[in-house]
Chains A and B, each alone.
Chain A
Amino acid sequence: MRIAVKNKDIFPSEIRELLRALDSAGFFEESMLIGSWVMPLYQEAFGINYTLRTLDIDFAVKFIHPDRDRKVDLEKLITDLGYLPVIMQSGIRRFTRENFTIEFVVQRKGGRDDEVIPIRKWNITACPLPFLDLLLSFPFVVDFGNFKVRAPLPEAYFVHKLITAQRRRSEGKQDKDLEQCSVIARHINSDRLKAVIDSLKLSKKTQKAMLDSCVTIDFPPQRLGLQ
């Protein structure tokens, strides 16, 4: 799905600059913007209005075998924008500028407990997280004219948050996840939601997590095929 936006100024100029630079490097051909900064896109494209934003921006990286494609130095691209690389205690490399942080995440491989995954194609490191493939499998592209941004469809974001909210250690993050879900729930497209659900093989634990989230936000679990 490709959507051209009328309002080109939905992001602050610093974020627009970052997104444009990533797009020019071909980053959004397979990888995507995730986290609370997708909300301005949802507002513009789907009328979903959620105004809280964090001061960090996350990108889900599609893992590609290092030798398969040309390499692009994203670290240089980002530091050229004035960001500083910072190695965190976990070994992950983030970028920061005036309190604003950039982080990359990648699908966690089953049975692995790595804290850092080097993505050689982009010269970055990414934090492995579960269920990211769910987001990466259901993208839409927002066209700003001079650049475009890939993000997950709201239905995929919704299901992802229903699952991950129950795995959060921080109560604050869980509340935020579920608040986002309850806002998106009012704008859910049933066909797209069905496509997302049909693509998943859910364990009992995951189904229970989704059910618990549904109860909290008062969303009928039948719409997810859950009883």
Chain B
Amino acid sequence: MKVVERDKVISGMLQDELKRCQEMLESLEKSVSELPKGVINERKKRYKNKVYSYYYLKYREGEKVFNKHIVKKELQDILKKLELRKKYEKEIKSYKRKIAYLNKITSAGKGRVHAHRGKE
């Protein structure tokens, strides 16, 4: 085990890793902002002994909740994008955790922080 500030290579790698994660996070957040958010709700209506389904995308903007009608032919595409959004959000969370961790261990002079280096 070596102290981070005493090993330039490890310290540099951690700084580069932090920068990489920050760049990735920024780009992931941009990607996710282009995807729809919310959940699909189905409403059924009966008309002349027939049942019709209507689909709505329910999402929140600040305090307000919106219900946007989705035409049937766009439904599968929206569902795919909502699923993709979940994956991006999961990845964003993982990068945020990593950044918090790297910030903690690369903060100079904030106590003695250690980094592992495998046996050579």
Distance between Cα atoms of A90 and B58 in the complex (Å): 34
Total of A-B residue pairs, C-beta within 8 Å: 75
State which size class the interface on A falls in.
20 to 34
Q: Contact at A172–B11, with CB atoms within 8 Å?
A: yes
Q: Contact at B9–A172, with CB atoms within 8 Å?
A: yes
Contact residues in A for B88 (Cβ distance below 8 Å): 84
Q: Contact at A54–B24, with CB atoms within 8 Å?
A: no
Instruction: Give chain A's interface secondary structure class.
Output: mixed
The residue on A at minimum CB distance from B97 is: A99
Determine how close the nearest CB of chain A comes to the CB of B26; give it in whole angstroms.
7
- Residue from A51, A55, A97, A171 in contact with B12 in the complex, judged by beta carbons closer than 8 Å: A171
Q: Is B109 located at the chain interface by the 8 A CB criterion?
A: no
State which size class the interface on B falls in.
20 to 34
Q: Contact at B12–A88, with CB atoms within 8 Å?
A: no
Contact residues in A for B87 (Cβ distance below 8 Å): 84
Contact residues in A for B12 (Cβ distance below 8 Å): 170-176
Contact residues in A for B8 (Cβ distance below 8 Å): 171-172, 175
Instruction: Give chain B's interface secondary structure class.
Output: helix
Contact residues in A for B98 (Cβ distance below 8 Å): 99
Stretch binding the partner chain, chosen from B13-21, B49-57, B68-76: B13-21
Known A86-B27, A89-B27; contact A52-B9, beta-carbon cutoff 8 A: yes
Q: Contact at A54–B17, with CB atoms within 8 Å?
A: yes
- Chain A 164-204, CB-CB to B under 8 Å as 1, else 0, gives 00000011111110010000000000000000000000000
Distance between Cα atoms of A94 and B118 in the complex (Å): 28
The residue on B at minimum CB distance from A171 is: B12
Q: Contact at B28–A101, with CB atoms within 8 Å?
A: no
Distance between Cα atoms of A56 and B21 in the complex (Å): 10
Contact residues in B for A49 (Cβ distance below 8 Å): 120
Distance between Cα atoms of A52 and B115 in the complex (Å): 11
The residue on B at minimum CB distance from A55 is: B17
**Of listed A101, A174, A175, residue having the most chain B CB within 10 A:** A175
Distance between Cα atoms of A94 and B20 in the complex (Å): 12
The residue on A at minimum CB distance from B20 is: A56
Chain A residues with CB under 8 Å of chain B are 49-52, 54-56, 84, 86-89, 94, 96-99, 101, 170-176, 179
